[in-house]
Chain A
Amino acid sequence: MRVDPSFQRLVCIDLLGRTALPEERRAWSQGSLSAEQLLDELLARREFWETWYENQLFFYLLLDNFRPATAALDELPQQLLEGRLGVREALRAVLISSSFNARNPGPDTFVSTVLEQNLGITVQKQPALLEAGKKMYDGYRGKLLNAAGASQADVVRIVVEQEGFLAHYLAREHRAIFGHDLPKAELEAAVKRLAAAPLEYPRILREWLLSERYRERAQRRRTKSDHAFIRSLYVDLLGRVPTYEEHQRIRNAMQSFSDAAPLRSVISRMLLDSGKVMLPENAAADPQGFVRESFQRFYGRAPSAEEERGYLAALKQGQVSPSLVWKALLTHPEYQTY
Chain B
Amino acid sequence: MSHRPDRREFLRLSGAAAAASCLPGAGFAAWTPSRARKTKRVVLIAFAGGVRSRETLGAPQNVPALTQMAREGVVYPNVKVANLGHFGAALALFTGVGEAMGIRENARGVYPTLFEYLRSQLGLGAGDVWLSTSGGNQYTNFSYSTHPKFGEAFGANLISGDGVFNADFKALVQDLGVPKALEGDEAAKLDRLRDVIATPGGSAPGVNDPATVRRIEGYIVEELSGKTAQITGPGQSDRKAIRVANNILRLFRPKVLAITLLNADAAHGSYNGYVEIIRKNDEEIGKLLKTIQDDPELRDSTAVIAVPEFGRDKNLNERNGLDHGDGSEDLQRVAAFCWGPDFQRGKIVDKLVSSVDICPTVCELFGAKAEYSKAKVLPQLFES
Contact = CB atoms under 8 A, between A and B. Distances in A.
Given A248-B168, A253-B169, A274 B204 contact: no
Contacts, number: 159
A249 B217 contact: no
Interface stretch (B22-30, B176-184, B262-270, B347-355): B176-184
A259 B193 contact: no
Contact of B164 (A256, A265, A271): A256
Interface string B202-246: 111011101001101101110010000000000000000000000
B200 A324 contact: no
B176 A270 contact: yes
B177 A262 contact: no
Interface stretch (B151-159, B311-319, B326-334): B151-159
A313 to B, nearest CB: 9
Contact of A329 (B100, B175, B197): B197
A222 interface: yes
B176 A221 contact: no
Interface of A: 61, 106, 108-109, 112, 124, 219-223, 246, 248-250, 252-253, 255-259, 261-263, 265-266, 269-276, 301, 304, 306-307, 310-311, 314, 319-320, 324-325, 327-329, 331-334, 336-337
B145 to A, nearest CB: 13
Contact of B168 (A252, A301, A310): A252
B200 A301 contact: yes
A263 B197 contact: no
Contacts of B208: 259, 261-262
A331 B186 CA distance: 14
B198 A304 contact: yes
A246 B217 CA distance: 20
A273 B158 contact: no
Contacts of A255: 137, 140, 160, 163
Given A220-B201, A306-B196, A324 B186 contact: yes
Interface centre among B207, B210, B213 (most CB of A within 10 A): B213
State the majority secondary structure of interface residues on A: helix
Interface string B132-171: 0000010010011000000000011111111110101101
A252 B102 CA distance: 25
B197 A334 contact: yes
A260 to B, nearest CB: 9
B208 to A, nearest CB: 5
B180 A320 contact: no
B193 A108 contact: no
A109 B104 contact: yes
A249 B172 CA distance: 7
A334 B203 contact: yes
Nearest to B143: A258
B194 interface: yes
A275 B179 CA distance: 11
17 contacts: A106-B104, A252-B166, A255-B160, A258-B131, A258-B156, A258-B157, A258-B159, A259-B206, A270-B178, A274-B176, A304-B198, A314-B193, A328-B190, A332-B197, A333-B206, A337-B199, A337-B204
A307 B196 contact: yes
Contacts of A246: 172
B259 interface: no
Contact of B220 (A108, A258, A266): A266
A270 B221 CA distance: 10
A327 B190 contact: yes
Contacts of A314: 189, 192-193
A266 B216 CA distance: 10
Nearest to B193: A328
Contact of B179 (A222, A252, A269, A332): A269
A256 B213 contact: no
Contact of A261 (B105, B159, B192, B206): B206
A61 B137 contact: yes
Nearest to B178: A270
Q: Which 7 A-B pairs have the closest CB atoms?
A: A256-B163, A328-B193, A259-B207, A310-B196, A269-B179, A258-B158, A262-B216
Given A61-B137, A270-B178, A334 B217 contact: no
A259 B204 contact: no
Contact of A320 (B168, B171, B189): B189
A268 to B, nearest CB: 9
B172 A221 contact: no
Name the residue among A112, A219, A262, A332 with the largest chain B CB count within 10 angstroms.
A262
A44 to B, nearest CB: 31
B251 interface: no
B189 A324 contact: yes
Given A256-B163, A259-B126, A311-B193, A273 B172 contact: no
A282 to B, nearest CB: 19
Contacts of B198: 304, 306-307
Given A301-B200, A306-B196, A270 B100 contact: no
Nearest to B152: A258
Contacts of B11: none
A337 B155 CA distance: 21
B196 A257 contact: no
B173 interface: yes
A140 B22 CA distance: 55
A334 B199 contact: yes
A248 B168 CA distance: 9
B178 A324 contact: no
B193 A320 contact: yes
A221 B189 contact: no
A296 B41 CA distance: 46
